[in-house]
Amino acid sequence: MRHNSKLPHVGTTIFSVMSALANEHNAINLSQGFPNFKSDQKLIDLVSKAMNSGYNQYAPMPGNLELREAIANKFERLYNTRYKPETEITVTAGATQAIYTIISAFIRPEDEVIIFKPAYDCYEPTIELNGGIVKAVQLNTPDYSVDWELVKSTISGKTKMIIINTPHNPSGTILSKSDMLTLQELTRGTDIIVLSDEVYEHIIFDGSEHQSACLFPDLKSRSFITASFGKTFHNTGWKMGYCCAPKELMNEFKKVHQFNVFAVNHPMQKGLADYLQEPSHYLELSQIYQEKRDYFLDLIKDSKFKIQPSKGTYFQVLDYSDITDEHDVAFAKRLTIENGLASIPMSVFNEKGKDDKVLRFCFAKTNETLEKAANILNKI
Ligand code: PMP
Ligand code: GLN
């Protein structure tokens, strides 16, 4: 049988590739972004309790109402803004499904979608699957700042969506208030939808404040915000997340969501609803990860890698240009196979594979793992 691939250029995601290589060579895995410590036992107990209390059949299509209420309360507490639990919040199978469904609900063939490179890897294939055209704007290096003049000149009558991500995977940078105000002005009066991927909203360092799209009224009126419980509560394997948007946008989202997944894991939703009642569970995250970042960076401060401390997320980018001029994919593979440490080469997220000689390391790991990784990095 012959078939014509809808995604001829797409192979296996770099996260699967590097994690498999790490397993094959018994390497320390700082590549794929997931914590190697346990989720809170309290949360696991709450999910077990939900299963034992009968939360085992379909949840309502947009999600368990208690969870949607808890999410709405979190928005009020943190950002002093209101999303209606009944109509403006949907619980999803991770942020990935939210992103997939948002793009599928709005992007038609020939619609243009602006993304910033390096970009998280699920945006582009999803746009292409829906016939959309990716308009990539490369971020400035080495600080990964946005060239807003370039964004302005990339916006056209065909621009249907702009996807932003703050704190940013893979660079570990954040968008400032002034960035968000500029985006708000550039989109004001247009029909452009903003997809604001905020899965790392609770992991932000050095006293910076997360600039959620919901803080800017005109931006909020055109934005979907996507979030991930996996990132926030150390259980990426549960694949739980949510998205919020004004009612009219969310209505369109739900038309697709109901046939894409209908509803997501019910006992976990109930467990998360109960767990969210205690704000410290997410408020403590920045401190936990800032300590990890600082611990890791202190351990490698005398290595040959050049360091710009991460400002958010649990990723640290390291510049190896003083060590070798090897291509980053080759260097990441060699580091895994010969030295026993896996990372992610940044070029795979860049426009035209631009190789800046930087690797991404995930520091959501126990101190013991970070020490072992640092020992390897210090010897290179
Ligand atoms: N967006 C970004 C920027 C991510 O790093 C990830 C990976 N967690 C996702 C979306 C997807 O999140 P989830 O695992 O909840 O699907
Ligand atoms: N978000 C994770 C990362 O950036 C990986 C998610 C995945 O494996 N698809 O590493």
Q: To which residue do tokens 């600039």 refer?
A: 211
Whether 19 is in the pocket of ligand 2, judged by its Cβ within 6 Å, is no
With vertex at residue 133, the alpha carbon angle to CA 129 and CA 139, rounded to the nearest 5 degrees, is: 115
The arithmetic mean of pLDDT across residues 166-195, rounded, is: 98
- Euclidean distance between CA atoms 22 and 29, whole angstroms: 6
Q: Ligand 2, residues 15, 96, 97, 315: which to mutate, most atoms within 8 A of Cβ?
A: 15
Asked if residue 31 lies in contact with residue 15, where contact means CB atoms within 8 angstroms, the answer is yes
* Residues above pLDDT 70, as percent of the chain: 100
For residue 290, which amino acid is it?
Answer: Q
Whether 169 is in the pocket of ligand 2, judged by its Cβ within 6 Å, is yes
Lowest average pLDDT, out of 2-6, 41-45, 141-145, 294-298, goes to 2-6
Asked if residue 315 lies in contact with residue 172, where contact means CB atoms within 8 angstroms, the answer is yes
pLDDT digit string, tens, across residues 15-70: 999 999 999 999 999 999 999 999 999 999 999 999 999 999 999 999 999 999 99
Q: Please tell me the distance between residue 1's alpha carbon and the centre of ligand 1 in angstroms.
A: 35
Helices (H), 247-346: 247-260, 266-275, 280-283, 285-299, 328-339
Q: Please tell me the distance between residue 140's alpha carbon and the centre of ligand 1 in angstroms.
A: 23
Q: Please tell me the distance between residue 170's alpha carbon and the centre of ligand 2 in angstroms.
A: 10
Q: Please tell me the distance between residue 33's alpha carbon and the centre of ligand 2 in angstroms.
A: 5
Lowest average pLDDT, out of 6-10, 72-76, 295-299, goes to 6-10
Question: Checking DSSP bridges between strand 159-165 and strand 193-197, what pairing results, if any?
Answer: parallel
Q: Ligand 2 atom 8: the closest Cα is on which residue?
A: 15
Q: Please tell me the distance between residue 53's alpha carbon and the centre of ligand 2 in angstroms.
A: 33
DSSP conformation letters of 52-78: HTT--SPPPTT--HHHHHHHHHHHHHH
142 contact partners, CB below 8 Å, separation of at least 6: 308, 319, 356
Q: Ligand 2 atom 10: the closest Cα is on which residue?
A: 33
* Bridge partner list, 161: 113, 193
pLDDT at residue 48, as a whole number: 98
For 46, the enclosing helix (H) or strand (E) is: helix 41-52
Question: Checking DSSP bridges between strand 344-345 and strand 358-362, what pairing results, if any?
Answer: antiparallel
Whether 122 is in the pocket of ligand 2, judged by its Cβ within 6 Å, is no
DSSP conformation letters of 87-145: TSEEEESHHHHHHHHHHHHH--TT-EEEEEES--TTHHHHHHHTT-EEEEEEPPTTT--
Q: Which atom of ligand 2 is nearest to the CA of 170?
A: 4
Q: Please tell me the distance between residue 32's alpha carbon and the centre of ligand 2 in angstroms.
A: 5
Q: Please tell me the distance between residue 228's alpha carbon and the centre of ligand 1 in angstroms.
A: 7
Q: Ligand 2, residues 29, 124, 236: which to mutate, most atoms within 8 A of Cβ?
A: 236
Whether 269 is in the pocket of ligand 2, judged by its Cβ within 6 Å, is no
Q: Please tell me the distance between residue 170's alpha carbon and the centre of ligand 1 in angstroms.
A: 11
pLDDT at residue 11, as a whole number: 87
- Residue 114 has phi, psi (to 5 degrees) of -90, 125
312 contact partners, CB below 8 Å, separation of at least 6: 166, 167, 168, 172, 173, 174, 200, 203, 204, 205, 208, 210
pLDDT at residue 281, as a whole number: 95
pLDDT at residue 224, as a whole number: 98
31 contact partners, CB below 8 Å, separation of at least 6: 14, 15, 18, 19, 22, 332, 336, 342, 343, 344, 360, 362
Whether 32 is in the pocket of ligand 2, judged by its Cβ within 6 Å, is yes
**pLDDT of 200 strictly over 90:** yes
Asked if residue 243 lies in contact with residue 102, where contact means CB atoms within 8 angstroms, the answer is yes
Whether 15 is in the pocket of ligand 2, judged by its Cβ within 6 Å, is yes
The arithmetic mean of pLDDT across residues 318-322, rounded, is: 97
**pLDDT of 2 strictly over 90:** no
Query: Residues enclosing ligand 1, CB less than 6 A?
Result: 33, 94-96, 120, 165, 169, 197, 199, 228, 230-231, 236, 239, 241
- Euclidean distance between CA atoms 48 and 232, whole angstroms: 19
The arithmetic mean of pLDDT across residues 224-247, rounded, is: 97
pLDDT at residue 9, as a whole number: 87
For residue 83, which amino acid is it?
Answer: Y
